[in-house]
Amino acid sequence: MKHTKMISRRSFLQAAASAAALSALALTGCSSSSGASSAAGGSSAASASGTVYKVGIVNYVDDASLNQIVASVEARLDEVGAERGVTFNYQDYYSNAQADQSNLNQIGADLVADDVDVIVAVATPTASTMLAAVEDTDIPVIYSAVTDPVGAGFDGLDNITGTSDALDTDSIMNLIVAVNPGITQIGLLYDLGQDSSTQAIADAKAFCDANGISYIEKNGTNTAEVQMAVEALVASGVKVVFTPTDNTIMTAELAIYETLIEAGIQHYTGADSFALNGAFMGYGVDYIQLGEATADMVVELLCDGTSISDMPYRTFDNGTATINTETCAALGLDLEKVKAAFEPYCTSVKEITTAEEFE
């Protein structure tokens, strides 16, 4: 798991000194698009003549999905760097805001002071803050796991693009009905402050309204509040709960899944990381693929000279349903029957067991 790291002024001064001392070296490999520097030695240099790009990576919070994206971005940048003979230095410019807005603000200011070549912003709140931070600079932002780029106001801007984990909510609702034919009530569990939940919850309500299903909404902005919201859903008697790609609920999943299981509640969610942390089912994009595609956009920007305006945001297939087999059994459901019910509505069905992080 990534450690929390705020960018320090010492890192900035070290990078600046290194760039100044070696500014006379010719750059090779990728063509520099925004002031990449060269270094002859130290942890940030690929070789004596290799181009070094300063890549700020900002994670919103520790959760399995977002950490998986960060790891995938880093692995892909390392792979491409080795192929092209350049270095994408993200080690000195990685931060995790731990879902704290003041942290995000400080991280953005530090990355601008460090004059990074690009900022990779993981999750919608991160992207919004980084976009504000780079105002009046030429530092581009490439986001990952922004569920609704249009709703967030990013689409069409000339200094931000990235990858979206947009959720096909109707597909999840169809999975719910397939396993629970005749269902009349569904619980909706989410954080009102998470932009990633807004459209998905609206879509879930529309599906329910169109199919004669009532719904009960419960919200929380932190783990303690989410636990209380879950207790309220248990008291209401619902047997199915839906949560979209909501980082607050994802962070709380390990603290709530046993309560849901004990109440016989099936938790259907918008990412496989929820299922990893105990939810009955997660449905959505492959976050490894999402991270790799995000890194590829960084490469296109820095190495190939592609402009942000020529890189529209990218979406991916939502067709993978991930079932937590332990939770499935604890709920008294037949795994093979569940898989058979899911298959008409998925491109693939995967199995997982409860753990804190992906291996």
pLDDT score, position 150: 94
Exposure string for 150-171, b = 16+ CB within 10 A, e = fewer: eebebeeeebbbbbbbbbbbeb
pLDDT score, position 317: 86
Residue 294, Ramachandran bin (φ over 0: left; ψ between -120 and 50: alpha; else beta)? alpha
pLDDT score, position 30: 61
In sequence order, what DSSP letters do the residues of 266-302 get, joined into one string? EEEESSHHHHHTT-SEEEE--HHHHHHHHHHHHHHHH
Q: How far is CA 205 from the centre of its chain?
A: 24
Residue by residue, pLDDT tens for the chain (359 residues) are 333 333 333 343 344 444 433 333 334 456 444 445 433 233 333 333 489 999 999 999 998 999 999 999 999 999 999 999 999 999 999 999 999 999 999 999 999 999 999 999 999 999 999 999 999 999 999 999 999 999 999 999 999 999 999 999 999 999 999 999 999 999 999 999 998 899 999 999 999 999 999 999 999 999 999 999 999 999 999 999 999 999 999 999 999 999 999 999 999 999 999 999 999 999 999 999 999 999 999 999 999 999 999 999 999 988 899 999 999 999 999 999 999 999 999 999 999 999 999 97
Which structural domains are found in the chain, ordered by start? 9-165+287-310 (3.40.50.2300), 169-284+319-352 (3.40.50.2300)
Residues 6+ apart with CB under 8 A from 27: 36, 38, 49, 51
pLDDT score, position 359: 79
Residues 6+ apart with CB under 8 A from 163: 143, 144, 145, 146, 290, 293, 294, 297, 313, 314, 315, 316
Strands 214-219 and 87-89: unpaired
